Structure 1
């Protein structure tokens, strides 16, 4: 039988039944009658006394309450508690109306465009850093106008390095005026050397950064980027901005081709040459990536790009064709 629902433990049941079977027995006699340790006996005695199932006025002559009275009373008390709890649970239905109203407010709020306004250059840079840190696929950038400031370059290079080493694709388009600054040119060469993809175009373009094709950052004012930025997460708008970026990207010229137009043969970065060198020798992608100190994800992306450029159907063939074409 299970009477725990009315507050009786197994030990309390044993002690209660002992006193029912042995009228007038004292507390001290329980040790001989039951196989319970002293602590368990005292705990059971306290439970029975609190539930008014025994009378401890004289511990040498304990009186057990008649079961039909004591147990029935505990059952009634428990039923009253349960009925009270049921009424409280049913009363919770009254909150449904308030929750439904909250839902309506939420639905009305989501009908607005998901665009966040961030004011101030420092705050914008912080948000860009956060978005870049949590990106996992790619970063797309359009940079119209002249070179970045020395401070911006100093901030950008570690972020680009971190992203590229994590295996993200970094694609950016700059205006030729950005190359007028030696520091800016050196920065772009570093990014390309790390595996970034840089292109140059003289066509007009709007400043923007897109993370994982899901969040776009554009200036509040197209001519005054220092005022702040808009963080756009609205899927339809972001899709249009990605399409715009792809159009600018396709029409732009590769950075190496733009800066070294007379170079014979294909323009390969140091990283691309290193990828070609290990493609035919490494048994596994993990080993190859470790040899050239890049992520497996970055290595595989470069392999796929080089195979497409060489028209190869497998990696070994790509390595052979690269040697035939004097790429390596």
Structure 2
């Protein structure tokens, strides 16, 4: 048994046999029963307790907030308990930090073996087919970690913001170590304000983004040597291509789309304050004239701001624009 498991085995248990960790906070029932003891002068008698209070009482005793006596239970100063648990948490945190410092060195032999082993390829040298979202994400994560020159991506259609949040740290690490990153999106992707915020975080570190208002093939290309192409519509199967001629073809296809795409610098830059105010009023249902009156601007000025907003969000009508801006109005 490891030292950590030995220590965990000696931690107090609640009434249900679950280990009470130092980071656990008292439940609502525990707080209520403790306050009952305080209102009674810091003391609980067994006769004061209902049968349903027994499990909660046991949890409070396990936490150290109540101490059994010969005739009942006495409340303990929560500050003393907090100081004790705080010291335990700090000790635990220190051990974790030390472990985190040692972990890379402990894994170094495995890392050297991984670096020395050629990547798995198909017998023909053309593509390896991988099934399962988790395995595909793991392979892509490994390629991002190994990328040293440039990462290129064409990402048509809507982009799930959770996926962008999940990969943000790795994308920023790639940019900070000097790799280039170029991504092509379609207008539908940047119409989502949460997606735009994620894209802007990458652009602030040097990522280049362009918008292509036409169909394109989804592809990820790493260092002009490995390309990843989905082979099913739901993305649960992908081809990892290493054959040089095929990768070169996909790179050329990406470059063709890149030239035709429009830089997204304007979309990533924050809009003027008046433009934001006008957008929020539009999202609340005000007309162009009412917005002008509310802000003391001419209708011509408001129309110019609306035109910029329509370009930014790809809206064809004021109704569409108001719908696109509804999230900003709530925020």
Q: TM-score, normalised by structure 1?
A: 0.44
Q: Rg larger in 1 or in 2? A: 1
